[in-house]
Amino acid sequence: MSSRFEAFLGISVELTAFSRFDLLGTGLAERYLATLDKVVGGEITDTLLAAFVALPPAEGEARIQAVRTTILGNELLGDVARALIKLWYSGTWFELPCAWTERFGPRPADTTFIVSPDAYVEGLLWKAIGAHPAGAKAPGFGSWAFPPKIPALPELVSKA
């Protein structure tokens, strides 16, 4: 895998709070990188990836603060990063805000669209809420009779 793709996976892990394994398991990582390139262009995508690679090491509060200020708080990169988060969770690219477009120029491919039918089914939101996508990945007959099982996140489990 290219270092560019690795950086894309890295920032996606950081922004979604899902593991590399989970993101690769969707089968959509390459398609999402291509979507980012198509919509905002390779130059902005590379700027976003370079900002991620330049962040301090992954441990500690400094990293979290750096993501907030360097990426999410950046005029150019913040809205793009938020659109990437929404893409991973919903499978839909949501058009960038008007303020972003006015400042950095319109992009012909920047419209709201579903990347693919697989993107809906593999959206991270289903895993996050412990449910199955409506109309796909049926859990089996009668499963509707039981509440969804939402797994506890290891770092949030209270230590009694």
Q: Where are the domains of the chain?
A: 3-145
Q: What is the pLDDT of residue 160?
A: 47
Are the CB atoms for 51 and 71 separated by under 8 Å?
yes
Per the prediction, the chain carries an average pLDDT of: 89
User: If you compute the radius of gyration of the chain from its CA atoms, what whole number of angstroms results?
Assistant: 17
Rounded to 5 degrees, φ, ψ at 67 are -60, -45
Q: Phi then psi for 134, rounded to 5 degrees?
A: -60, 130
User: Which among 114, 108, 84, 83 is positioned nearest to 96, based on CA atoms?
Assistant: 83
Q: Are 80 and 40 in contact (CB under 8 A)?
A: yes
Q: Per residue in 114-155, pLDDT tens?
A: 999 899 999 999 888 887 787 777 667 777 777 766 667 666
pLDDT tens-digit series, residues 21-57: 999 999 999 999 999 999 999 999 999 999 999 998 8
